[in-house]
Amino acid sequence: MIEVICNDRLGKKVRVKCNPDDTIGDLKKLIAAQTGTKSEKIVLKKWYNIFKDNITLADYEIHDGMNIELYYQ
Amino acid sequence: MANRTVKEAPTIKGTNPQYLIEKIIRSRIYDCRYWKEDCFALTAELIVDKAVELKHIGGVSGGNIRPSPFLCLILKMLQIVPEKDIVVEFIKNEEFKYVRALGAFYMRLVGTSVEIYKYLEPLYNDYRKMKRLNREEKFELLHMDEFIDELLREERVLDVQLPRLQKRTVLEENNQLEPRQSVLDEDIDDDNELSDEAEEEDEKKVKPKEKTSEKSKKNWKDYDKPERSPSPRYARSSSPREKSSKKRRRSRSRSKSRSRSPTRENKKKHSSRHEHRDKKDRDRDRDRDRGREKEKDIYNYQG
With a cut of 70, say whether residue A12 has pLDDT above it.
Answer: yes
Cβ <8 Å between A54 and B136? yes
pLDDT at B4: 74
* Interface mutation target, options A29, A71, A73, chain B, most CBs of B under 10 Å: A73
Q: Where are the beta strands (DSSP E) in A1-73?
A: 2-7, 13-18, 42-46, 49-50, 67-72
Q: What's B219's DSSP letter?
A: S
With a cut of 70, say whether residue B303 has pLDDT above it.
Answer: no
With a cut of 90, say whether residue B139 has pLDDT above it.
Answer: yes
Q: How many residues does chain B have?
A: 303
pLDDT in tens, B113-132: 888 998 888 888 888 999 99
CA dist B173 and B168 (Å) reads: 9
pLDDT at A51: 92
CA of A18 vs chain B CAs: smallest distance (Å)? 22
Which is it for strands B139-143 and B129-133: parallel, antiparallel or unpaired? antiparallel
* Interface mutation target, options B21, B23, B24, chain A, most CBs of A under 10 Å: B24
Give residue B209's pLDDT band: very low, low, confident or very high (50, 70, 90): very low
What rounded mean pLDDT belongs to chain B? 74
Residue in B65, B136, B156 closest to A73 by CB: B65
Give CB contacts under 8 A, 24+ apart, made by B299-302. Answer: B300/B236, B300/B237, B300/B238, B301/B202, B301/B205, B301/B237
Give CB contacts under 8 A, 24+ apart, made by A60-63. Answer: A60/A24, A62/A2, A62/A4, A62/A20, A63/A2, A63/A20
Q: What's B158's DSSP letter?
A: T
With a cut of 70, say whether residue B134 has pLDDT above it.
Answer: yes
For the ranges A67-71, B15-19, B178-182, B296-300, the one whose mean pLDDT is highest: A67-71
- Residues 124-153 on B with a CB inside 8 Å of A are 135-136
pLDDT at B236: 54
Residue B55 within any structural domain of the chain = yes
Residue B52 within any structural domain of the chain = yes
- Residue B38 C-beta-side C-alpha neighbours within 13 Å: 19
| Cβ atoms < 10 Å from Cβ of B72 | 21
pLDDT in tens, A24-54: 999 999 999 999 999 989 999 999 899 998 8
Lowest mean pLDDT among A8-22, A27-41, B180-194: B180-194
CA dist B292 and B269 (Å) reads: 30
Give residue B215's pLDDT band: very low, low, confident or very high (50, 70, 90): very low
Residue in B63, B136, B156 closest to A50 by CB: B63
CA of A69 vs chain B CAs: smallest distance (Å)? 14
Domain count, chain B: 1
Q: A40 is in which domain, residue-wise?
A: 2-72
Cβ <8 Å between A52 and B60? no
B156 or B280, which is more confident? B156
- Residue B170 C-beta-side C-alpha neighbours within 13 Å: 5
pLDDT in tens, B61-77: 888 889 999 999 999 99
Cβ <8 Å between B156 and A52? no
* Torsional class of A65: left (φ above 0), alpha (ψ -120 to 50), beta (otherwise): left
Cβ <8 Å between A43 and B25? no
pTM value?
0.66
Between B44-52 and B84-92, two packed helices, what is the crossing angle to 10 degrees? 20
Lowest mean pLDDT among B70-84, B146-160, B220-234: B220-234
ipTM of the complex: 0.83
Give residue B218's pLDDT band: very low, low, confident or very high (50, 70, 90): very low
pLDDT at B213: 44
pLDDT at B94: 87
CA dist B230 and B189 (Å) reads: 10
Residue B76 within any structural domain of the chain = yes
Q: B57 is in which domain, residue-wise?
A: 23-174
Question: In chain B, what percentage of residues exceed pLDDT 90?
Answer: 20
- Residue A8 C-beta-side C-alpha neighbours within 13 Å: 14
A50 at interface of B, judged by CB pairs closer than 8 A: yes
Kindly state the average pLDDT of the residues B181-190: 74
B267 at interface of A, judged by CB pairs closer than 8 A: no
Between chain A and chain B, how many beta carbons pairs sit less than 8 Å apart?
A: 20
A63 at interface of B, judged by CB pairs closer than 8 A: no
Residue B139 within any structural domain of the chain = yes
CB A22 within 8 A of CB A56: yes
A71 at interface of B, judged by CB pairs closer than 8 A: no
With a cut of 80, say whether residue A15 has pLDDT above it.
Answer: yes
Domain count, chain A: 1
Kindly state the average pLDDT of the residues A4-20: 93
- Tell me which chain B residues have a C-beta less than 8 angstroms from the C-beta of A41: 24
Q: Which amino acid is residue A6, in one-letter code?
A: C
- Give the CA radius of gyration of chain B: 28
With a cut of 90, say whether residue B16 has pLDDT above it.
Answer: no
User: What CATH number has the domain bearing residue A33?
Assistant: 3.10.20.90
Cβ <8 Å between B24 and A73? yes
Lowest mean pLDDT among B101-105, B263-267, B276-280: B263-267
Kindly state the average pLDDT of the residues B164-173: 87
Cβ <8 Å between B156 and A43? no
- Residue B24 C-beta-side C-alpha neighbours within 13 Å: 15
- Residue B22 C-beta-side C-alpha neighbours within 13 Å: 16
Give residue B44's pLDDT band: very low, low, confident or very high (50, 70, 90): confident
| Cβ atoms < 10 Å from Cβ of B213 | 15
Give residue B184's pLDDT band: very low, low, confident or very high (50, 70, 90): confident
Kindly state the average pLDDT of the residues B160-170: 89
CA of B144 vs chain A CAs: smallest distance (Å)? 23
- Tell me which chain A residues have a C-beta less than 8 angstroms from the C-beta of B135: 40, 53
CB B162 within 8 A of CB B21: no
CA of B63 vs chain A CAs: smallest distance (Å)? 6
A69 at interface of B, judged by CB pairs closer than 8 A: no
Q: Is B77 exposed, middle or buried (0-12, 13-18, 19+ CB in 10 A)?
A: buried
Query: 3-class DSSP state for residue B27?
Result: helix
CA dist B222 and A26 (Å) reads: 39
Q: What angle do CA B108, B128, B125 make, to 5 degrees?
A: 65
pLDDT at A7: 94
